[in-house]
DNA sequence: CCCCTTGCCGAAACCGGTTTCGGAACGAAC
DNA sequence: GTTCGTTCCGAAACCGGTTTCGGCAAGGGG
């Protein structure tokens, strides 16, 4: 147990010579106190068999000497590497890119607040993603994972559940399940979008939903329907489209709607990128967005602020999402129950230039409105 | 040395019961071969005192049993955690955000190809960034770091050099130094931009440079000057501006230039965001971009593709940059010399709609051109 | 035939922590 | 004054690797 000052002298001598000075180890702390490594370790890890006096002495000395345990040294015994894993799948549509920086900032903040780090990997396909997860689990690269873009029948969830590895969803599971999760209530936004348009006089509203493979799509769809129902408006099936995640998708869907005998006077998109496609379709049809046709998106992509008129949309706080997700995951890793780890938030409406009062035309004139009496 | 099948049986029995099955350890491999741990370890790590026969036997058995050394178990002895560090500073201007996903993809690919992972952290200020580096170094969270957005008098470089931690620059050091680095030759792009505009008849060309704190700024400035010189054109000091990194910056600089007695017929921006600001200034001045005034940017941000007309700019392959940077860093970690680790690439010009032939006006008429004879 | 290399591998220490186990010291109960 | 139960800490094993050191056996030279 006596290690003396010998090592220390050597270290100090080496200091200027070659490498950085040797770290303060747990043995250095225990020697300085006349205790053993095990006592120091247990004192620092809140074991109950250490007296409060000793614990305080140890803490003070560790602090004074600047002792910080090496996470990968602890990992070998505890099995925990104190790291959160994130696998980013480079989607064909690049909708997630603008969010990434903020999302990472939130995750990183939440992680480092608890002494965790963030380990990330990327992949090009769903198959590669699963393989990456498999590798990271095998090599214990992370104690748990954050899953963004939750999908219906998600293979990642199946794998992580099978391997009994903690994870948390950004989004909700397709089945009302026990997964820890944080989600933005897209259905609230979609309903709010409808009611906003209705308040501007719109009665014929189209809806372009996002990718059907994602769990958010049914929710946003339901929110749109709910809004229409609450407003007492009928839903025109020809004015509801699914699975638009790119500008091109949105343009195609909108072009179709605008060529209907009675085209909608407003279109709500579940995804901003699709909304930008609506801009193109409108321009092609000779319609001025914000005057001849109203458009509302969802996501708050930066491109939306630069188009003319600026896109009214719902801003999602991705930084907050990241923070809360890492917090949830860490609590999960530490043993909290899944059902206690489910949080939500609501997106914030950005009322910009792409919505305006409905124009009087044969389809939406006050005379037509009168027709509602028939219902 | 005899560990027998006992552990193994227990493991197999536990398999279905509780946790995932216990990993294959190096002891499992050595036992299966009738060798010792040390022999297996040295065989796998290319020690010269292991016969080729034994090495092959070990490799085959390790492969067959699916043995993969635990990186954090090796780390405790080797000091290497097999991870690359990246600290992302959330700048006030969000110019780097769109690139992030691709950049990370490149880094991740290059890293995982060599069995490394990517550990990232974020920060909100220069001071916080340095502090984050300090923490990550202290806790050995990474074996080396990638520094993006190289600055003049970069505090990160000073720290890493002092701590003798390997790093690689995305960009070039301000002094012709021995730092490992990968850089895109912005000066080549700026010169090319000038020559492209000259080929369209422009002779009065403005230049709005990027952030002066970054090392790229002097290079791009030099490229612009070189282009003007090669074209035999004089540089109007009033048409050269510095330190524009946001849309607002670009708008302000362009507004000033356009209000000159002899405004430029084309403006080159060292940063796309500033170029988008030029669009605004042009619109305010009643000028049509691509007709009344030509604009060229640099970066290839996605917003540039959505404005009207689409912004002509230089596309930077950030994925490739990430891949090469992680490759360089890994070679550096493995001991390669810095001077052997310096690579560059050239950006690719995207000729879109924001440039056009110069209009004949009093300032740029053929008569004025004749004035060059005086030079 | 002996000695000295050389090639090759085993034994054991080591890295920096954590965790189990046992026992000393002390006070309370009988 | 024993006995028993707590409280609290030391000793040692352990985690999964790496690295040093030493020694055995085969081969070559004298």
**CATH code, B191:** 3.40.50.2300
**Closest CA relative to residue A316, chosen from A348, A351, A342:** A348
Task: Indicate the pLDDT class of residue B90, thresholds 50, 70 and 90.
Answer: confident
Mean pLDDT of chain B: 89
B334 touches chain A (CB under 8 A): no
Name which of B167, B170, B132 is nearest B149 in CA terms: B170
A93 in reach of chain B (CB within 8 A): no
pLDDT band (50, 70, 90) for residue B94: low
- Token pair of A271, please? 């995804």
pLDDT at A265 over 80: yes
User: Is residue A23 assigned to a domain?
Assistant: yes
- Per-residue pLDDT averaged across B166-179, rounded? 86
A179 lies in a domain? yes
pLDDT at B267 over 90: yes
Q: Residue A3: pLDDT above 80?
A: no
Mean pLDDT across the stretch A10-26?
A: 53
Question: Could you tell me if residue A286 is inside a domain?
Answer: yes
Return the half-sphere exposure (C-beta side, CA atoms, 13 A cut-off) of residue A92. Answer: 9
Structure confidence at residue B302 (pLDDT): 81
How confident is the model at residue A370, as a pLDDT?
37
Whether residues B195 and B304 share a domain: the answer is yes
* Residue B165 within a domain: yes
Using 50, 70 and 90 to split pLDDT, how confident is the model at A21? low
The tally of domains found in chain B comes to: 3
3-state secondary structure (DSSP) of residue A44: helix
pLDDT greater than 50 at residue A14 = no
**Is B96 found in the same domain as B199?**
no
In Å, how far are A203, B151, B233 from B275, measured between CA atoms? 40, 22, 22
A277 and A138, same structural domain?
no
Lowest mean pLDDT among B64-78, B276-290, B292-306, B321-335: B292-306
Q: Which of A358-367, B17-26, B73-82, B325-334 has the lowest mean pLDDT?
A: A358-367
Q: Is the CB of A39 under 7 A from strand D?
A: yes
Residues B352-364 have a mean pLDDT of 77
Residue B71 included in any domain: no
pLDDT at A286 over 80: yes
- Strand pairing category for B117-123 and A117-123: antiparallel
Cβ–Cβ under 8 Å, residues B150 and B184: no
Task: Let me know whether A203 and A307 are in one domain.
Answer: yes
pLDDT value of residue A307: 85
Task: Kindly state whether residue B77 falls inside one of the protein's structural domains.
Answer: no
CB contact under 8 A, B302 and A118: no
In angstroms, the Cα distances linking B53 to A37, B33, B41, B43, B96 are 43, 13, 15, 10, 52
> A15-19, A74-78, A126-130, B359-363: lowest mean pLDDT where?
A15-19
Strand D atom within 7 Å of A138 CB? no
Say yes or no: B49 and B194 in one domain: no
Integer angstrom CA distances of residue B94 from A303, A312, A323, B80, B253: 13, 21, 20, 33, 19
**Are A179 and A273 contained in the same domain?**
no
Q: What mean pLDDT is predicted for residues B132-146? A: 97
**What percentage of chain B carries pLDDT values higher than 70?**
88
Considering the domain architecture, whether residues B93 and B49 belong to the same structural domain is answered as no
User: With bands split at pLDDT 50, 70 and 90, how would you rate the model's confidence at A375?
Assistant: very low
In this predicted structure, what is the pLDDT of residue B175? 72
Instruction: Report H helices in chain B.
Output: 6-15, 26-33, 37-44, 52-65, 71-78, 97-112, 126-138, 155-162, 186-199, 216-230, 247-258, 272-284, 303-306, 318-333, 366-370
- For residue A74, is it within any domain? no
Q: Is residue B115 part of a domain?
A: yes
Residues A264 and A305 in one domain: yes
Q: CB contact, 8 Å: A248 with chain B?
A: no
* pLDDT tens sequence across A117-140: 999 999 999 999 999 999 999 999
A21 touches chain B (CB under 8 A): no
A267 and A324 in a single domain? The answer is: no
- For the stretch A145-198, pLDDT in tens is 999 999 999 999 999 999 999 999 999 887 767 899 999 999 999 999 999 999
DSSP strands (E only) in chain A: 83-89, 117-123, 144-147, 167-170, 181-184, 205-208, 240-241, 266-269, 294-296, 313-315, 342-345, 348-350
The pLDDT tens digits for A60-107 are 999 999 999 999 999 999 999 999 999 999 876 665 666 888 999 999
Domain CATH number, residue B32: 1.10.260.40
Give A303's pLDDT tier (boundaries 50, 70, 90).
confident
Q: Is B94 in Cβ contact with A101 (below 8 Å)?
A: yes
Matching residue, tokens 């899944």:
A338
Does the CB of B375 sit below 7 A from strand C?
A: no
Same domain, A54 and A24: yes
- Proportion of chain B above pLDDT 90, given as a percent: 81
pLDDT band per the 50, 70, 90 thresholds, residue B91? confident
Distance A244 CA to C1 C1' (A): 90
Task: Output the pLDDT for position B21.
Answer: 59
Contact criterion met (CB below 8 Å) for B292 and B359: yes
The rounded distance, in Å, linking the Cα atoms of B247 and B92 is 12
For position A91, what pLDDT does the model report? Answer: 73
Secondary structure of residue A127 in the 3-state scheme: helix
**B323 lies in the same domain as B310:** no
Residues B177 and B217 occupy one common structural domain: no
Domain of B39 in residue numbering reads as 6-66
B49 touches strand D (CB under 7 A): yes
Spatial distance between the Cα atoms of A1 and A23, rounded to a whole number of angstroms: 19
């Amino acid at each position: 147990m006596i290690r003396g000052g010998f090592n220390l002298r050597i270290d100090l001598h080496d200091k200027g010579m070659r490498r950085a000075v040797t770290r303060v180890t747990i043995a250095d702390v225990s020697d300085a106190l006349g205790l053993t490594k095990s006592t120091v370790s247990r004192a620092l890890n809140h074991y109950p068999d250490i007296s409060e006096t000793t614990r305080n002495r140890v803490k003070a000395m560790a602090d004074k000497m600047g002792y910080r345990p090496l996470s990968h040294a602890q990992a070998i015994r505890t099995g925990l590497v104190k790291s959160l894993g994130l696998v980013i799948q480079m989607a064909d549509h690049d909708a997630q890119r603008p969010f990434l920086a903020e999302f990472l900032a939130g995750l990183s903040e939440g992680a480092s607040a608890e002494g965790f780090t963030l380990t990330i990997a990327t992949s090009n396909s769903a198959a590669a993603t699963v393989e990456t997860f498999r590798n990271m689990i095998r090599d214990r690269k992370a104690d748990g994972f954050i899953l963004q873009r939750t999908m219906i029948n998600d293979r990642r969830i199946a794998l992580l559940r099978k391997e009994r590895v903690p994870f948390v969803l950004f989004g909700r599971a397709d089945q009302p399940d026990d997964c820890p999760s944080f989600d933005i209530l897209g259905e609230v936004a979609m309903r709010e979008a409808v009611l906003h348009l209705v308040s501007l006089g719109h009665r014929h509203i189209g809806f372009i939903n996002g990718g059907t493979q994602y769990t958010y799509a049914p929710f946003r769809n339901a929110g749109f329907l709910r809004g229409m129902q609450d407003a007492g408006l009928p839903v025109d099936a020809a004015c509801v489209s699914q699975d638009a995640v790119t500008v091109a998708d949105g343009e195609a869907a909108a072009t179709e709607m605008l060529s209907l005998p009675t085209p909608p006077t407003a279109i709500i998109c579940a995804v901003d990128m699709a909304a930008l496609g609506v801009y193109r379709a409108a321009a092609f049809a000779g319609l001025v967005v914000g005057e001849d046709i109203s458009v509302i998106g969802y996501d708050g992509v930066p491109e939306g602020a630069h188009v003319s008129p600026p896109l009214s949309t719902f801003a999602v706080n991705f930084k907050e999402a990241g923070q809360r997700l890492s917090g949830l995951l860490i609590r999960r890793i530490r043993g909290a129950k899944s059902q206690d780890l489910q949080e939500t938030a609501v997106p914030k409406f950005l009322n910009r230039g792409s919505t305006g009062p409905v124009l009087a035309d044969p389809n939406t004139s006050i005379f037509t409105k009168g027709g509602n009496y028939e219902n």
